[in-house]
Amino acid sequence: MPDITYEIKFKTARSGGKGGQNVNKVETMVEGYWQVANSSLFSPEEKERISEKLKNKINLDGFLLVKSQAERSQLGNKQLVIEKMNELVAKALLVQKARKATKVSKAAKLRRLESKQKNSAIKQNRRKPSKDD
């Protein structure tokens, strides 16, 4: 799978949360934008698959958006964005194997029916005897 690091555009902003004066002064939050349609690393079919699987993370302009503010440094957050984005794209490109339909075996059907009969018999024995017997 190709590394999309060089096609990602980054934007920084001030982070929220803990960090005191550092949070108020330094732009540590990093947002990564990657335009799926303009990528030169993937075929049209792969781009279509990525767009379909990640449609809830792609904005109206066609950019895959990932942000991070977990680290206290901009560089750390940038690395996290790159990792998350590469992971998302890798998962989106995986093709699931088609499920083969299988039939329930005769033995399994018999076991199920026998257990049902056994449960039925147990419940029959719990009933109060009828007066006409």
Spans of all domains in the chain:
5-93
Residue 133 bridge partners (DSSP) = none
C-alpha span between 66 and 108 (Å, rounded): 48
What's the fold here for domain 5-93?
Answer: Double Stranded RNA Binding Domain (3.30.160)
Q: If you ran DSSP here, which 8-state letter would residue 58 be given?
A: B
C-alpha span between 29 and 110 (Å, rounded): 61
Of 42 and 115, the structure prediction assigns the larger pLDDT to 115
Q: Torsion angle of alpha carbons 34, 41, 60, 54, nearest 10°?
A: -90
Q: If you ran DSSP here, which 8-state letter would residue 122 be given?
A: H
Instruction: Calculate mean pLDDT across residues 28-49.
Output: 89
User: Average pLDDT, whole number, for the chain?
Assistant: 88
